[in-house]
């Protein structure tokens, strides 16, 4: 049984490996995993760093399109975190975009033990229709889709309210509720709640007891 205390940093994450093609995944997909998907610059790498209390773990960049590989990080409590390449950045050619979307689609279709798909979206941007479709695809594949609206430190109360309404609208549109988190990797707001959600969903024990097993 894995044990984890909220007081220690989130599952002491370490970089494990990168793959450029799904053919390279070998047995990697047999480990329970959670993945972070979203447009380039939506804050995937920053969130990974915030979750693991490790600033330099995943590369953060002002230049969109920094993460081009599927980067896999290992936690000490039996599951992997996956930083997926961002898509939709302006400098990407049509061909590059198509290749990236194919890779992401293939990932959803083939990654065996994907437990949660986090779909990140910058709170200052509108939630795209394509992301709505991704939520539906994940649901069909019995992968739990969870939306994360990032960078809320940049919003005032009324703007945050608008983002919440937008997500309620999105749920009405697809007719099925899904979980949404509103957070900031910069201030840490909402990150603790997300950590607890991940550990709970993956069935990792969150309190260390003094009793012998
Ligand atoms: N203010 C603010 N900025 C953030 C936050 N999270 C990320 N950023 C900034 O947004 C930019 C992009 O962040 P990344 O984490 O590299 O984004 P990404 O989704 O991994 O991008 P790609 O690797 O290109 O797909 C960086 O300049 C970050 O510093 C946040 O919570 N608040
Ligand atoms: Mg990145």
Determine which residue's CA is closest to atom 5 belonging to ligand 1. 151
pLDDT in tens, 8-35: 567 678 899 999 889 998 999 999 999 9
| 206 belongs to a structural domain | no
Determine which residue's CA is closest to atom 1 belonging to ligand 1. 151
pLDDT in tens, 137-189: 999 999 999 999 999 999 999 999 999 999 999 999 999 999 999 999 999 99
Neighbours of ion ligand 2 (CB under 5 A): 44-45, 67
Distance (Å) from CA 176 to ligand 2 centroid: 29
pLDDT in tens, 187-207: 999 999 999 999 999 988 765
The parent domain of residue 99 ranges over 10-201
Determine which residue's CA is closest to atom 9 belonging to ligand 1. 43
Determine which residue's CA is closest to atom 30 belonging to ligand 1. 151
Distance (Å) from CA 1 to ligand 1 centroid: 35
| 210 belongs to a structural domain | no
pLDDT tier, 1 (very low <50, low <70, confident <90, very high otherwise): very low
| 28 belongs to a structural domain | yes
Determine which residue's CA is closest to atom 13 belonging to ligand 1. 43
C-alpha torsion 105→115→198→41, nearest 10: -10
Q: How far is CA 30 from the centre of its chain?
A: 18
Whether the Cβ atoms of residue 67 and residue 86 lie closer than 8 Å to each other: yes
DSSP string across 54-114: -TTSS---SSTT---SEEEEE-TTS-EEEEPPPB--TTS-HHHHHHHHHHHHHHHHH-TTE
| 211 belongs to a structural domain | no
In a mutational test of the pocket of ligand 1, which residue from 46, 87, 88, 150 has the highest number of ligand atoms less than 8 Å from its CB?
46
What's the DSSP call for residue 121?
E
Check residue 175 and give its pLDDT. 95
| Tally of CB atoms within 10 A around 33 | 21
Number of domains in the chain: 1
CATH number assigned to the domain comprising residue 51 = 3.40.50.300
| 64 belongs to a structural domain | yes
Ligand 1-lining residues (CB < 6 angstroms): 38, 40-46, 60-62, 64-67, 86, 150-151, 153-154, 184-186
| 192 belongs to a structural domain | yes
Whether the Cβ atoms of residue 151 and residue 50 lie closer than 8 Å to each other: no
Nearest of 163, 138, 141 to residue 150 by alpha carbon: 163
């Amino acid at each position: 049984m894995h044990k984890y205390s909220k007081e220690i940093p989130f599952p002491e994450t370490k970089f494990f490996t990168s793959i450029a093609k799904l053919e390279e995944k070998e047995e990697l997909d047999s480990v329970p995993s959670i993945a972070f998907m979203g447009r380039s610059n939506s804050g995937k790498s920053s969130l990974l760093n915030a979750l693991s209390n490790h600033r330099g773990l995943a590369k953060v960049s002002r230049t969109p399109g920094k993460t081009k590989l599927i980067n896999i990080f290992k936690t000490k409590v039996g599951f992997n975190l996956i930083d997926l390449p961002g898509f939709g950045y302006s400098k990407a050619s049509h061909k590059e975009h198509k290749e990236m979307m194919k890779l992401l689609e293939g990932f959803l279709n083939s990654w065996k033990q994907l437990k949660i798909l986090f779909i990140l979206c910058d709170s200052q941007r509108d939630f795209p229709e394509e992301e709505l479709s991704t939520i539906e695809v994940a649901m069909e594949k019995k992968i739990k889709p969870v939306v994360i609206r990032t960078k809320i430190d940049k919003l005032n109360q009324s703007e945050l309210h608008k983002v919440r309404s937008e997500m309620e609208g999105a749920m009405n549109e697809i007719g099925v509720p899904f979980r949404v988190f509103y957070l900031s990797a910069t201030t840490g707001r909402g990150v603790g709640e997300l950590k607890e959600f991940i550990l709970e969903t993956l069935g990792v024990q969150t309190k260390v007891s003094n009793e012998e097993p």
